[in-house]
Amino acid sequence: MDFNQIQELIRLVTKNKLSTFYLQEGDFKIIIRNQATHLPEGTPPPVLYAPAPPAAQPPTPTPPPASAPSAPPPDVQPAVQPVKPEVSNLITIKSPMVGTFYRSASPDKPPYVKIGDDVEVGDTVCIIEAMKLFNEIESEVKGQIVKVLVEDSSPVEYDQPLFLVEPA
């Protein structure tokens, strides 16, 4: 299988809105997963490339199947983890001040929030300390913490992104 044939395969998988395409031929294996069928309208499908077939392999004009392959082997792993496209509705909690960022009230206490936690407006999400004064930073949104962008005990500046929140 050469590069042009792989490109052709990808085109056909996308055109026919297939969710998975699997082909194995000797040592050569290709898996194409199309997330377009699961994603909101308008999101371009990520395209995946598997390692090129060995050069010695003679091109085999195998036509792609029109429907999903029968019984892909259960232990097949995608060559590359599909990248979930940027969902732009995430809200960033930014630092309102300069100081040192702490995830918990003190080293022996658990963090105020972790990934997956739900927060309400007014919930404390972290502490920022400056000049020996500890300031509790409150969330201005209601939602779920998706990402923590700053490491514990690191310096932060004004407007620096601290957390990503998926709004409820």
Contact residues for another protein (CB under 8 A)? Answer: 97-100, 130-131, 155-160
For residue 43, the one-letter residue type is: T
Which of residues 24 and 153 has its CB atom nearest to another protein in the complex? 153
CB of 142 to another protein, least distance (A): 24
- φ, ψ dihedrals at 84, nearest 5°: -70, 125
Query: What's the CA gap between 101 and 154, in Å, rounded?
Result: 6
Which of residues 71 and 133 has its CB atom nearest to another protein in the complex? 133
CB of 101 to another protein, least distance (A): 10
Which of residues 78 and 155 has its CB atom nearest to another protein in the complex? 155
Structure tokens at 132: 């020996």
CB of 163 to another protein, least distance (A): 18
Which of residues 94 and 142 has its CB atom nearest to another protein in the complex? 94
Query: What's the CA gap between 164 and 168, in Å, rounded?
Result: 13
Q: Nearest Cα to 124, choosing from 112, 115, 132?
A: 112
- φ, ψ dihedrals at 5, nearest 5°: -65, -40
- Helix, coil or strand: residue 4: helix
CB of 111 to another protein, least distance (A): 21
